[in-house]
């Protein structure tokens, strides 16, 4: 059975999709190339906004550690995606990666406390490479700008709190260090996305980082400066 699905922007603070379901799949032994195709090689009808979603299954069996390693591998060498898939396929695929509907999505992998924190740290840090090697030149439509919003929104909504310590603190620090690297990429697409994420992450060193960024980038236009200041105050949408 093959089904179509439409993107739903936000529900209870998380990005998700509406979809029809099919029988569970077993992805435990999927090779890397098939993993990539599973994400991006979707049938997109002529009308934008709808995508073949036969891979959005409930009850999928998969190896979370392997999936995490695959995301790291993909993010470290993403350039081939541009010649292999259409812009619309990339847009929809990256939305799926940062959402929570797909059980094996990167967002859910990051939230999986059964995985070693070191593995999830590698995955988060590899996203800076993805931004530098792909998104700086291929900004796509909305997925790039909303990337960090989706991953950091838990701190903005209070679902995660630094004061609890543990993973709430550790993951927040990992995201902050990674966003600092993305903010240093010579591309407003990357910088704007990073500021968006910083505005939702609520890290205590955000204002310090943004002030340094403004000092180092005096050529920013008025709108860009205003957005950076809003991020420093955690007031971006």
Domain positions in the chain are 4-232
Q: Write the DSSP symbol of residue 165.
A: -
Q: Is the torsion defined by CA of 143, 147, 151, 157 positive or negative?
A: negative
Rounded Cα distance between 171 and 197, Å, is 13
DSSP-assigned states of every residue in 80-110: THHHHS-HHHHHHHHHHHHSSSSTT-HHHHH
Q: Which of 153, 38, 45, 155 lies closest to 103, judged by CA?
A: 38
Give me Rg for the CA atoms of the chain: 18
* Pair 198, 233: CB distance under 8 Å: no
Residue 145: pLDDT over 60:
yes
pLDDT (tens digit, 9 = 90+) per residue, 204-216? 999 999 999 999 9
Q: Over the stretch 31-78, which tens digit does the pLDDT of each residue have?
A: 999 999 999 998 865 544 444 445 555 578 999 999 999 999 999 999
Q: What is the pTM of this model?
A: 0.86
pLDDT tens digit string along 123-142? 999 999 999 999 999 999 99
Sign of torsion, CA 135 136 138 140?
positive
Residue ranges of the alpha helices (H) in the chain? Answer: 32-40, 64-76, 81-84, 87-98, 106-111, 117-130, 143-157, 166-183, 188-201, 206-216, 222-232
- Structural contact between residues 231 and 199, judged by C-beta atoms closer than 8 angstroms: yes
């Amino acid at each position: 059975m093959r089904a179509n699905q439409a993107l739903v922007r936000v529900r209870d603070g998380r990005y998700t999709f509406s979809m029809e379901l099919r029988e569970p799949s077993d992805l435990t032994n999927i090779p890397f190339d098939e993993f990539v195709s599973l994400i991006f090689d979707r049938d997109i009808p002529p009308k934008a906004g709808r995508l073949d979603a036969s891979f959005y299954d409930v009850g999928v069996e998969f190896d979370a550690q392997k999936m995490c390693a695959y995301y790291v591998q993909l993010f470290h060498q993403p350039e081939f995606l541009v010649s292999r898939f259409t812009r619309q396929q990339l847009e929809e695929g990256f939305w799926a990666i940062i959402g929570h509907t797909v059980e094996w999505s990167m967002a859910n992998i990051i939230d999986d406390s059964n995985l070693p924190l070191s593995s999830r740290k590698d995955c988060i840090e590899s996203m800076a490479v993805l931004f530098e090697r792909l998104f700086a030149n291929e900004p796509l439509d909305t997925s790039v700008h909303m990337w960090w919003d989706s991953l950091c929104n838990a701190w903005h909504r209070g679902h995660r709190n630094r004061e609890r310590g543990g993973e709430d603190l550790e993951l927040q620090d990992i995201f902050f260090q990674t966003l600092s690297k993305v903010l240093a990429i010579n591309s407003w697409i990357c910088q704007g996305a990073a500021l968006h994420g910083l505005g939702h992450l609520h890290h205590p060193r955000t204002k310090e980082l943004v002030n340094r960024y403004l000092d180092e980038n005096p050529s920013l236009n008025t709108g860009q400066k205003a957005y950076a200041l809003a991020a420093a105050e955690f007031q971006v949408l």
